[in-house]
Amino acid sequence: MKCLFSYADKYLQKSSWKDLALIKLCLFAMGIMAGIRIPEKNRRAAGWAAYFVFLVTYLPLMSKFLRIVTEKDE
């Protein structure tokens, strides 16, 4: 567990406000997908839009996180 927290600390040190905004958008999209309370006729479109936002934000975030985790400490 300490290892995960140290990775998170390194990630935050190397992140800008833009990265944190992406994290918030990603989590927002996950929340929409998990708890959709939209009328049946609009549910499918909202779900796909949330899924798209999630993918567009999640992939770059995880790419950066994996780069930080695998880099050598100096």
pLDDT of residue 73: 63
Q: What is the rounded distance in angstroms from the CA atom of residue 43 to the CA atom of residue 16?
A: 34
Task: Name the residue ranges covered by the structural domains of the chain.
Answer: 12-69
pLDDT of residue 74: 58
How much of the chain is in helix, strand and coil states, percent to nearest 5?
Answer: 80, 0, 20
Give residue-wise pLDDT tens across range 39-73: 788 888 888 988 898 898 888 888 888 888 887 76
How far is CA 34 from its chain centroid? 14
pLDDT of residue 57: 86
Give residue-wise pLDDT tens across range 11-35: 888 888 888 888 888 888 888 877 7
pLDDT of residue 33: 77
